[in-house]
Structure 1
Amino acid sequence: MNDGLSIVGLSKNFGGLQVARDLTLTLPRGSRTALIGPNGAGKTTFANLLTGVLKPTSGKIVLNGQDIGSLSESARVRAGVAKTFQITNLFRDLTVRENLRLPILEREGRTHQFFRRADGWSDIEAEIARLMQDLNIQPLADKPVRGLAYGQQRLVELALTLAVKPKVLILDEPAAGVPSTESHFIVEAIKRLPQDLSVLIIEHDMQLVFEVADRIIVLVNGAILMEGTPDEVVANKQVRELYLGAGHV
């Protein structure tokens, strides 16, 4: 498959312990896929294999026809695989606009032009404005990050990740730590992501998963138990017993 991310036979061993077992799946361009599973299922390991934090024992990771399995973390970001809450940390004393300006300047190779103001590039300022509009955070533009609610800070981190222009975006528990009164902001932001962006959502909040995902992969003990639509996953008795709980039985 040349259009999207393709994972073939991906495995990871730590000595005699196998933590990822022959994972084979695709993330087509524009797909919204959720990865769920009980604690210890291997979700974080899988994300770390995709981003280059861990090197696989075997298998391939192919993005738009390019094998990226041997690339470093930074090279994978440049190739188009980005993960929220990993690309950068927020500068809490800077405003939202100033935070967003930094990764764009770095991406465009303009961070070392000492005799020009950082806010003097009209194209970059226009891109910052578009990012804030896409995530509906324009009212926060000139507020210091440290004064924002936690859910708002998550949106700023998401905007920072989008600033590197990924082809595949991994959202690692985007609602973690966000109060229930603010979680709808995260859902709305995911729904507003570019339609041609492939999104992998690793999340325990099943309400969020069912609202935004068109496909769900269930991971158990480092292996894929099943993959299907939200309705197919809910209808699977084994998934309900292992993970979803009595409320979905």
Structure 2
Amino acid sequence: MAGLEVRGLTKNFGGLVVSEDIDFDLRPGDRKALIGPNGAGKSTFANLVTGILEPSSGTIHFDGRDIGRLGEARRVKLGIAKTFQVTTLFPKLTVRENLRLPVLERENRGFRMLRRADGDPKVEAEVEALMAQFDLSKLADRQVANLAYGQQRLVELALTLALKPRVLILDEPAAGVPSGETHLITDAIANLPANLAVLVIEHDMDLVFKVAQSIVVLVQGRILTEGTPREIAADAKVRELYLGGGHG
């Protein structure tokens, strides 16, 4: 049950402090959201946890192991994965081909990534299961470039899940998704494996209040407060600083 444990995490860019003395826990099965105004340091925090950035001070432990100096690739291998605000897919490949890539890479068979894997029923079965989980089966042989943006975000989420992470960080999963398609994202998050630790970084407060069990509010690189959606919605400081006093 150790999961992810962050203590005193700080990041400086020269004289600018963008993350300051952050304590944060993410346990198996957690559904947490990280919110805050633009410039609060949310993406910086995610990049520190995933190894894209190196902390100035503080510690990051995963299952009791200090991973603060490990690079991004090593952390992915350990089970920490992150999606991005902009889709990072292969637009000319089909949905099936996109999802086959991380499965083969995870199995250290990347040299076969652009070949059909018809001879490997295990790989194809996993790809089919991923497509079914995210309601993508009917789109299996369509090029990703021809999908609606909300569907592309689902493909990216399925692709990240193919890495079999134990910690999944979703960096603005609804960014760019038309309002009529955001239900695709909320449904996909709701159907993620129950033992997966999930951190959602998002500006869409309707999505946050639907999927999060706990919400962490970040302001100017520091944690202002943490609580249940009901507690956060009722917090006067949060309403003033972020929710604009109008979220019921």
TM normalised by structure 2 equals 0.95
User: For 1:173 and 1:34, how far apart are their aligned partners in 2?
Assistant: 10
Query: Which residue is 2:2 aligned to?
Result: 3
Q: What is the Cα deviation at residue 113 of structure 1?
A: 5.7
Q: What is the Cα deviation at residue 60 of structure 1?
A: 0.9
For residues 42-83 of structure 1, give each alpha carbon's deviation from its aligned partner in whole angstroms, at most 9, with x where no partner exists: 101101101111110111111111111111011111111110
Query: Which residue is 1:82 aligned to?
Result: 81
Q: Does residue 51 of the first structure (1) align with residue 50 of the second (2)?
A: yes
Q: What is the Cα deviation at residue 87 of structure 1?
A: 11
The amino acid of 2:166's aligned partner reads K
2:194 aligned counterpart, secondary structure: coil
Q: What is the Cα deviation at residue 117 of structure 1?
A: 4.8
Going from structure 1 to structure 2, the CA distance change for 1:248 and 1:90 (only over 3 Å counts) comes to: closer
User: For 2:111 and 2:192, how far apart are their aligned partners in 1?
Assistant: 31
User: For 1:113 and 1:34, how far apart are their aligned partners in 2?
Assistant: 37
User: For 1:27 and 1:38, how far apart are their aligned partners in 2?
Assistant: 22
Query: Which residue is 1:94 aligned to?
Result: 93
Contact 1:11 1:23 in 2 (8 A): yes
For residues 177-217 of structure 1, give each alpha carbon's deviation from its aligned partner in whole angstroms, at most 9, with x where no partner exists: 00011110000000011111100000000000000000000
Contact 1:88 1:160 in 2 (8 A): no
Choose 126-135 or 223-232, whichever is displaced more: 126-135
Going from structure 1 to structure 2, the CA distance change for 1:30 and 1:135 (only over 3 Å counts) comes to: same
TM normalised by structure 1 equals 0.95
Q: What is the Cα deviation at residue 245 of structure 1?
A: 1.0
1:234 aligned counterpart, secondary structure: helix
Q: What is the Cα deviation at residue 246 of structure 1?
A: 2.8
Choose 20-29 or 116-125, whichever is displaced more: 116-125
Contact 2:103 2:162 in 1 (8 A): yes
Query: Which residue is 1:177 aligned to?
Result: 176
Contact 1:87 1:161 in 2 (8 A): no
Query: Which residue is 2:33 aligned to?
Result: 34
Going from structure 1 to structure 2, the CA distance change for 1:60 and 1:217 (only over 3 Å counts) comes to: same
* CA RMSD of superposed structures (Å): 1.7
Q: How does 1:60-209 map to 2 (within 5 A)?
A: 60-85=59-84, 89-112=88-111, 117-209=116-208
2:203 aligned counterpart, secondary structure: coil
The amino acid of 2:108's aligned partner reads G
Choose 186-195 or 89-98, whichever is displaced more: 89-98
The amino acid of 1:231's aligned partner reads R
